Structure 1
Amino acid sequence: MVIGPELVVLLGPDGAAVGTAPKAEVHHARTPLHLAFSCYLVDDDGRLLLTRRAATKRTFPGVWTNSFCGHPGPGEALDDAVRRRGRQELGVDVGMPRLVLPAFRYRAEQDGVVEHEICPVFVAPVSGTPTPDPAEVDDVRRVTWADLVAAARGGGRPELSPWCVAQVAELVALGDGPAAWPAADPAMLPLAAHLAAAA
């Protein structure tokens, strides 16, 4: 159980932790660089779960994106944060996360609110039916990898978040779908994530 405000880990340009800040206060027009993660869930039929961000969210409301994103807390290992966030946001038990893009980094802006993250990307198996938290997710759909690639390239629907589009471009280079993506070297994670894993 989290007592007090949820904190995010602030980062220097080299990926080292330089402090913390309340999540509720960190996203604005000058959002500082901070540590996050993205996860792509794959069901038993090999389809990916996409989610539509709740219309009430401060950043990129109503936009379709990867299965879920989140922020590890201070000292929290990324694998643990991925599993925790899967339960919180989608009500699912996430299988063993596999790191695929250890150094993904982006900055995106919508309506004056900025996302600015070093955001390692994971893929993980999932079974069962999601029961999303309505404060986080408005809708869930299952798509093939080919459909997601087409949407990211502008050839299909739904419209995707800018970080999902950028992630798909990098994931395409790894192989033809989640089963083909090799596990990345954890040594490539930002320094703050290494220290959290060792804590």
Structure 2
Amino acid sequence: MTIEEHVVLVDSAGHALGTAPKTEVHGRETPLHLAFSSYVFDHEGRVLLTRRADRKVTWPGIWTNSCCGHPLPGEPVDRAVERRLSYELGLAVKSIDLMLPTFAYRAVMANGIVEHELCPVYRVTVSSPVVPNPEEVGETRWMPWKDFTEGVLNGLLAISPWCREQVPLLDELGSDPTSWEPASPSELPPAARL
């Protein structure tokens, strides 16, 4: 028997309002809910980009940052990052750091489907090889961070709307991702402080 995955619904201040089935939240009236984005780096400082599987409800087939997802009710966000990286990309995490604790966005697809997330952003380092799950990931590519940020900031890379908003904020932290100063978990929205 498959248990339906739920997401945490939040208000604009980041307080939990309850939960809803993940299969029911992404539509034309998507409520604000808790999520995460992660940027995976290897020992050479390259960032892992992924092309979303064509079966995805939101932004199918679009290139984006390494991995996104939703913490389960009661699950710490950093644990959700580890869980999804293992499931989607077969990756074992070496380190995980909170970088943008209060990032939020709303984006609308051409077909009217809305993504509306309170989405803390994490930097992750790995040393294991990537083994994509084809149900989640259509393709992967490692890219030097400098080339990636220049491509996004200059509009040369077609990328997901959340990634397009996150990259300038990450770029403000410095040109070398290994030197970024992590944020404190106490800066996370209340629903994410477990």
Report what 1:179 is aligned to.
178
> How many residue pairs end up in the alignment?
193
Contact 1:99 1:121 in 2 (8 A): yes
Deviations 1:70-96 (A, max 9, x none): 100000001111110100110111222
Contact 1:147 1:156 in 2 (8 A): no
Partner AA of 1:85 in structure 2: R
Relative to the length of structure 1, the TM-score reads 0.93
State the distance in 2 between where 1:46 and 1:14 align.
Answer: 34
State how 1:136-175 maps to structure 2 within 5 Å: 136-157=136-157, 159-175=158-174
In 1, Cα distance between equivalents of 2:93 and 2:192: 20
Query: For residues 94-134 of structure 1, what are the alpha-carbon distances to aligned partners after superposition, in whole Å with 9 as ceiling and x for unaligned?
Result: 22210000000000111211110010000011112211111
Does residue 1:108 correspond to 2:107, yes or no?
A: yes
Aligned to 1:14: 13
The answer for the alignment partner of 1:55 in structure 2 is 54
Alignment-mate amino acid for residue 151 of structure 1: G
Give secondary structure in 1 for the equivalent of 2:85. Answer: helix
* C-alpha contact (below 8 Å) 1:17/1:191 kept by paired residues: yes
> Following the alignment from structure 2 to structure 1, what is the Cα–Cα distance between the partners of residues 156 and 28?
30
Distance in 2 of aligned mates of 1:163 and 1:113: 14
Give the stretch that moved more between structures: 42-51 or 143-152. Answer: 143-152
User: What CA distance in whole angstroms lies between the structure 1 residues aligned with 2:150 and 2:172?
Assistant: 15
User: What 5-or-longer segments of structure 1 have no aligned partner?
Assistant: none
C-alpha separation between the residues in 1 aligned to 2:160 and 2:127? 25
The CA distance in 1 between the partners of 2:176 and 2:112, in whole Å, is 34
In the alignment, does 2:56 pair up with 1:40?
no
Q: What RMSD over aligned residues (CA atoms) do the two structures have, in Å?
A: 1.3
Mapped contact 2:78–2:96 kept (Cα < 8 A): yes
2:117 match: 117
Distance, in Å, in 2 between the alignment partners of 1:193 and 1:91 is 25
Unaligned residue ranges in structure 2 (runs of 5+):
none
Q: Distance in 2 between matches of 1:69 and 1:102?
A: 14
Q: Is the contact made by 1:151 and 1:160 (CA closer than 8 Å) also made in structure 2?
A: no
SS of 1:96 mapped into structure 2: strand
1:20-31 pair list within 5 angstroms: 20-31=19-30
Using the aligned pairs only, state the percent identity.
51
TM-score when scaled to structure 2? 0.96
Report the residue type matching 2:123 in the other structure: V
1:137 & 1:177 partners in 2: Cα distance? 27
